[in-house]
Structure 1
Amino acid sequence: MEKSDFTYTYSKSRSQFGKQCFFSDRGPEMMESIPSDKTLGKNFILKNPIHQALQKSKNFSEHEVNTFRAEYVNAGINHVEGGWPKDINTADAEATQRYRRKIEKDDAYVHCVMHLSHDMEHYILQNNAINVYQKYFTDVDPAPPIEKSSCRTVNVYRDQNTIKRPITFLSWSADNGARLAATHCDLEFHTATAEQCTHSYIWDIENPNKPQLVIIPHSPLCCLEFNPRDPNTLVGGLLSGQVAAFDIRRGSKPYEICPMHQAHRDPVRNVLHINSKTGTEFFSSSADGQVKWWDTRKLSEPTDSMIIDPVKVVGEEQCVKRALGVSCLEYETTIPTRFMCGTEQGLVIGGNRKGKTPIERLPGRYAAHLGPVYALQRNPGFVKNFLTVGDWTARIWSEDCKESPIIWTYFHRAKLTDGAWSPLRFSLFMTTRWDGCLCCWDILRKQTAPVVTAQLCDEPLTKLRPQDQGRLVPCGSSKGAVYLVELSENLGVSAKNDKLLLTNMFERESKRERILEARMRELRLKMKVKSGQQGAGGGGGATGDQTSGSDQDVLDAEVDYRQIVEREAKAQQAPPTVDHILENTE
Structure 2
Amino acid sequence: MMEIVYVYTKIRSEFGRQCNFSDRPAELHVDIVPDPSLAENFIEKNPIDVFVQVSKDMSEHEANTERFKTETRGINHVEGGWPKDINANDLEHTIRYRKKVEKDENYVYTLMQLGSLMEHCIKQNNAINIYEEYFDDKEESVERFIEPSSAKTINVFSDPNEVKRTVSHISWHPDQGRKLAISYCCLEFQRAADNMSYESYIWDLENTNKHDMVIKPVSPLLCLEYNPKDSHILAGGCYNGQMGYWDTRKGSQAVEIPTIEVGHRDPVYKIIWLQSKTGTECFSAASDGQVLWWDIRKLSEPVERLILDVTKKDDPDIAYGAVSLEFESTMPTKFMVGTERGVVILGNRKGKVPAEKIVSTFTGHHGPIYAVQRNPFYPKNFLTVGDWTARIWSEELRDSCIICTKCVMKLYTVCASKTMADCLPVVLTEAQQHFSSIHQVSVLTRKMKKHLQMRCLRGRQNGRRFWKHVNVSYVQKNVLNLNKERRWKAKKSMRRRQLSTKLQRLRKHSLKLLKKKERDLRWRRKKWTNRKREHQRKMMMRRMSTKWRMQFETAASTE
TM-score by length of 2: 0.59
Q: Is the 8 A contact 1:165 1:478 kept in 2?
A: no
1:475 correspondence with 2:469: yes
Paired AA for residue 414 in structure 2: G
Partner of 2:389: 393
Per the alignment, residue 150 of structure 2 pairs with 151
Give the equivalent residue in structure 2 for 1:361: 357
Q: Secondary structure at the match of 1:236?
A: strand
1:370 and 2:366 equivalent? Answer: yes
The C-alpha deviation readout for 1:377-408, integer Å capped at 9, x for no partner, is 11111110111001121111100011111122
Counterpart of 2:220 in structure 1 is 220
Q: Structure 2, unaligned stretches of length 5 or more?
A: 1-7, 12-72, 87-91, 132-143, 435-440, 476-485, 491-559
Q: Could you say which residue in structure 2 is the equivalent of 1:160?
A: 160
Give the match for residue 339 of structure 1.
335
Alignment partner, residue 529 of structure 1: none
Q: Distance in 1 between matches of 2:96 and 2:157?
A: 88
Residue 424 of structure 1: CA displacement?
A: 2.5
| Structure 2: distance between partners of 1:159 and 1:222 | 15
* Aligned equivalent of 2:27: none
Distance 1:327 1:94 in 2: 88
Amino acid corresponding to residue 171 of structure 1 in structure 2: S
| SS at 1:321 equivalent | helix
Distance 1:123 1:83 in 2: 32
Pair 1:409-2:405 in alignment: yes
Residue 249 of structure 1 and its aligned partner are, at CA, apart by 1.4
1:170 and 1:464 in contact (8 A); partners too: no
Aligned residue type for 2:317: K
Residues 545-583 of structure 1: per-residue CA shift (max 9 Å, x gap): xxxxxxxxxxxxxxxxxxxxxxxxxxxxxxxxxxxxxxx
Percent identity, please. 38
Tell me which stretches of 4 or more aligned residues in structure 1 moved more than 4 Å. Answer: 5-8, 72-77, 81-84, 90-101, 112-126, 434-439, 463-466
In the alignment, what sits opposite 1:538? Answer: none
Change (3 A) 1:448 1:371: farther
| Structure 1: gaps spanning 5 or more residues | 9-71, 85-89, 131-135, 138-144, 455-460, 486-508, 514-586
Residue 175 (str. 1) matches residue 169 (str. 2): no
Query: How many angstroms does 1:425 deviate by?
Result: 2.6
Q: Which amino acid aligns with 1:336?
A: P
Distance 1:121 1:169, change over 3 A: same
CA distance in 1, matches of 2:398, 2:74: 81
* SS of match in other structure, 2:355: helix
Q: Is the contact made by 1:467 and 1:473 (CA closer than 8 Å) also made in structure 2?
A: no
Q: After TM superposition, give the deviation of residue 342 of structure 1 in Å.
A: 0.4
In 2: Cα distance, 1:224 partner to 1:73 partner = 58
* 1:259 corresponds to 2:254: no
Q: 1:149 to 1:176 in 2, by over 3 A?
A: farther
1:423 to 2:418 alignment: yes
Quick one: distance in 1 between partners of 2:257 and 2:304? 17
The residue number in structure 2 matching 1:383 is 379
CA distance in 2 between partners of 1:260 and 1:245 (Å): 15
Change (3 A) 1:207 1:149: farther
Cα offsets for 1:7-58 (capped at 9, x unmatched): 89xxxxxxxxxxxxxxxxxxxxxxxxxxxxxxxxxxxxxxxxxxxxxxxxxx
- Within 5 Å, give how 1:2-151 maps onto structure 2: 78-80=80-82, 91=93, 104=105, 148=147, 150-151=149-150
Q: Secondary structure of the residue that 2:316 maps to in structure 1?
A: coil
Counterpart Cα distance in 1 of 2:117 and 2:369: 77
Q: C-alpha displacement at 1:123, in angstroms?
A: 11
SS state of the match for residue 250, structure 1? coil
Q: Aligned with 1:257: secondary structure?
A: coil
Contact 1:422 1:466 (C-alpha < 8 Å) held by counterparts: no
Instruction: State how 1:183-582 maps to structure 2 within 5 Å.
Output: 183-311=183-311, 317-412=313-408, 414-433=409-428, 440-443=442-445, 445-450=447-452, 452-453=453-454, 466-469=460-463, 471-477=465-471
Secondary structure of 2:425's aligned partner = strand
Q: Deviations over 1:63-91 (max 9, x none)?
A: xxxxxxxxx9999992236999xxxxx95
Cα distance in 1 for partners of 2:111, 2:472 equals 87
Q: Is the 8 A contact 1:421 1:428 kept in 2?
A: yes
TM-fit CA distance, 1:258: 0.8
Structure 1 position 331, deviation (Å): 0.8
Letter in 2 for 1:389: V
Please tell me the root mean square deviation across aligned C-alpha atoms, in Å. Answer: 4.4
Number of equivalenced pairs: 382
Contact kept in structure 2, 1:388 and 1:419, CA below 8 Å? yes
Contact 1:183 1:224 in 2 (8 A): yes
Q: Deviation digits for residues 136-190 of structure 1, max 9, x if unmatched?
A: 99xxxxxxx9974623133221111121111111111211522211111001113
CA distance in 2, matches of 1:394, 1:212: 36
Q: What is the CA-CA distance between 1:304 and the residue it aligns to?
A: 1.0
Once residues 240 and 367 of structure 2 are traced to their aligned partners in structure 1, the CA distance between those partners, rounded to angstroms, is 24
User: Could you tell me how far apart the structure 2 residues matched to 1:295 and 1:178 are?
Assistant: 28
C-alpha change, 1:148 and 1:445, in structure 2 (3 Å) is farther
Q: Distance in 2 between matches of 1:300 and 1:435?
A: 37
1:114-146 deviations in Å (ceiling 9; x for gaps): 6996699789999xx99xxxxx99xxxxxxx99
Work out the CA distance in 2 between the residues paired with 1:73 and 1:424: 42
| Equivalent AA in structure 2 for residue 157 of structure 1 | F
Contact 2:223 2:237 in 1 (8 A): yes
